[in-house]
Amino acid sequence: MTWCQKWFYKMEGSFSLPEAMQWSGNVSQNWVKFIRGFRLYLTAVGYDGKAAKVKTSMLLHVLGEQGQTIHSTFKFEEGQEMHFETVVNAFESYCCPRKNITSERYRFFSRNQNDGERIDVFITDLKKLSKSCDFGELCDSLIRDKIIIGIKCVQLRQSLLREEELTLEKAIKMCITNETVRSQMTMFRSTNSTSFSLDAVQREPRGNQLPAPRVYRFCALRHDVRACPAWGRRCLKCGGRNHFARCCSAANHPQAQRADTIQTYNMQSVVTE
């Protein structure tokens, strides 16, 4: 065995076989995934140039018992039952029957951006739906047009329509940029609103705080503004109004002291009443 052959077998052993074909669930998608992995495996281990019979045998081996049973039901022209590409096409027709193009296009054109859906998710789904619509060379332009029609943001739609040479790539870039800016602005407004609310809460007690009661010179008592018990009362010393005798300028006179005692008693009676 030459060094080249040794290297080949070493490389072949370093790659594991592709994942087995799943015959349940979405068989169409499963087949697309499987055959892509199988072709990559053939290339990786250098089997692209092998005889068709060898590649077909390997394919049927990986497809398993159910795949081999399905293969036995196919009708081939004489000598084609082990031709690799012919067998692959037969499985393609079995797993991926021809779709209703009109129905697939209806699904594509009916797709609009949902409330709260990210723009990249919407665009990715449009691309996925377009694959089964057979749009050909018009695919990119139709995806671009559907993005403009289906997006939620009216201002963004107007901006896209103003572009004279709008490609799909440019439309996607504008959409993602717009969504990023709008998200940042929403976060900024939310932060400012929270800051303003906290500041208002901190300032509110100061604004509503009432002045502390103080001792007034007309009654020598502590009370709120406009709640002086001496208001409207007659001084028993000087006969004046709106002050008690003890607050009168002649309060040190014995008669004034007696009057102060009487007036204090009267004040307490008024408060009690």
For the chain, which residues make up each domain, given as ranges?
3-95, 101-180, 214-272
pLDDT digits (tens, 9 = 90+) for 91-107: 998 988 767 889 889 99
Query: Which residue stretches of the chain have pLDDT < 50?
Result: 1-11, 251, 256, 259-260, 262, 265, 267-273
pLDDT digits (tens, 9 = 90+) for 172-219: 999 999 999 988 888 877 776 655 565 555 665 555 555 566 777 778
- CATH class entry, domain 101-180: mainly alpha
Average confidence score pLDDT of the chain: 80
CA 64 to chain centre: 43
Contact 44, 18 (CB under 8 A): no
Q: Quick one: pLDDT at residue 75?
A: 92
Per DSSP, the residues of the chain read --HHHHHHHHHHHTSPPPPPPP-SS-HHHHHHHHHHHHHHHHHHTT-TTS-HHHHHHHHHHHHHHHHHHHHHH----TT-TT-HHHHHHHHHHHHSPPP-HHHHHHHHHH--PPTT--HHHHHHHHHHHHTTTT-GGGHHHHHHHHHHHH-S-HHHHHHHHH-SS--HHHHHHHHHHHHHHHHHHHHHHHHHHHHHHHHHHHHHHHHHPPPPPEE-TTTS-EE-TT--TTTTPBPTTT--BSS-GGGSTTTTSHHHHHHHHHHHHHHHHHHH-
For residues 200 and 104, what is the distance between their CA atoms, to the nearest angstrom? 57
For residues 22 and 30, what is the distance between their CA atoms, to the nearest angstrom? 6
Contact 95, 30 (CB under 8 A): yes
